[in-house]
């Protein structure tokens, strides 16, 4: 959305475009520190937020999107030229019907030890794990060492103390050459990696996202080095 807004400006059509951000959530971000920045970004860019609105129908022939107000259940129809939809996230059947799942269908594990309470030889990390934090690769990077320690302890018949604190991260690109690196824990408190205010949009963070993180992902994380 932020890049589209930027692109419309570069192409000279932003004044003839309307950008709407619709979400069932009640705010643009769940962590207050980053929410405040993104609220300013949205205001600066003239993006129109529609909070507490859930997409329930697309009418491609008429180019209309129908939203339901989550609180009042009132339906709102919005005309569009281009719509970008993020589908609701859910577990695959192989997980939700496995007998390992919690009510939401994700693998039920302790949120700190990542070990199943019902089956002590079962552990889970990543998107399939029923952990109350944002599902990201960055979160997995912090979960993996905790999992390894507990797994080895279980195999040796000992106990481990490693604890996952819910760390997750969202690199939010707010335009070409601008990024805000949100990092937070289970308590929705910032858990930042750099010694500066990460709630600011920065060119350096854009470089991190476009130049450094791809290398970190491919050569570090996926090979188990970082
Ligand atoms: C658009 C988008 C942008 C993102 N951006 C970021 C980002 O900037 N930073 C970040 O940290 N994270 C980001 N994420 C999140 C990150 O990609 C995921 O959290 C991460 O890939 C999850 O890894 P995983 O191994 O747990 O699950 P997955 O990567 O989903 O792997 C699960 C695998 O299991 C396979 N599978 C499914 N069913 C079966 C079956 N029955 N038998 C065998 N195999 C099966 C699937 O094919 C898949 O390969 C983003 C996600 C999306 C969608």
Q: Per-residue pLDDT tens for 97-126?
A: 999 999 999 999 999 999 999 999 999 999
Sheet containing strand 75-79, strands side by side: 53-59, 64-69, 75-79
Q: What is the mean predicted confidence (pLDDT) over 123-146?
A: 96
Tell me the two tokens of residue 108. 């039920």
97 CA to middle of ligand 1, Å?
19
The third-level CATH classification (topology) of the domain covering 97-166 is FAD/NAD(P)-binding domain (3.50.50)
CA distances from 8 to 43, 61, 76, 173, 190 (A): 16, 24, 25, 16, 32
- Report how far residue 158's alpha carbon sits from residue 155's, in angstroms, rounded to the nearest whole number: 8
- Report how far residue 203's alpha carbon sits from residue 201's, in angstroms, rounded to the nearest whole number: 7
166 CA to middle of ligand 1, Å?
18
Query: Which residue puts its alpha carbon closest to atom 30 of ligand 1?
Result: 127
Q: Quick check: 96 pLDDT over 80?
A: yes
Q: Quick check: 178 pLDDT over 80?
A: yes
Of the candidates 169, 174, 177, 165, the residue with the CA atom closest to the CA atom of residue 217: 169
CA distances from 178 to 113, 201, 202 (A): 36, 6, 5
In the chain, what percentage of residues exceed pLDDT 90? 95
pLDDT of the residue at 222: 85
Q: pLDDT-based confidence at 224, cuts 50/70/90?
A: confident
What is the tens place of the pLDDT at every residue in 34-85?
A: 999 999 999 999 999 999 999 999 999 999 999 999 999 999 999 999 999 9
Tell me the two tokens of residue 102. 């919690």
Whole-prediction pTM: 0.93
Q: pLDDT-based confidence at 88, cuts 50/70/90?
A: confident
């Amino acid at each position: 959305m932020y890049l589209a807004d930027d692109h419309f400006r570069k192409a000279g059509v932003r004044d003839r475009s309307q950008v709407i951000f619709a979400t069932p959530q009640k705010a643009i971000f769940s962590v207050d520190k980053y929410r405040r920045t993104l609220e300013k970004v949205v205001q600066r860019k003239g993006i129109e937020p529609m909070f507490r609105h859930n997409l329930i129908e697309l009418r491609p022939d008429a180019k209309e999107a129908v939203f339901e107000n989550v609180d009042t259940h009132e339906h709102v129809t919005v005309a569009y030229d281009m719509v970008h939809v993020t589908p609701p996230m859910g577990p695959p059947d192989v997980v939700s019907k496995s007998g390992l799942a919690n009510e939401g269908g994700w693998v039920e594990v302790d949120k700190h030890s990542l070990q199943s309470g019902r089956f002590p030889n079962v552990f889970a990390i990543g998107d399939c794990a029923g952990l109350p934090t944002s599902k990201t690769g960055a979160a997995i990077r912090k979960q993996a060492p905790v999992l390894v320690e507990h797994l080895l302890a279980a195999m040796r018949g000992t106990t481990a103390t490693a604890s996952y604190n819910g760390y997750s991260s969202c690199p939010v690109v707010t335009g070409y050459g601008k990024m805000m690196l949100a990092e937070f824990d289970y308590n929705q408190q910032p858990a930042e990696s750099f010694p500066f205010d990460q709630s600011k949009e920065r060119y350096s963070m854009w470089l991190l996202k476009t130049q450094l993180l791809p290398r970190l992902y491919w050569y570090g994380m996926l090979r188990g080095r970082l």
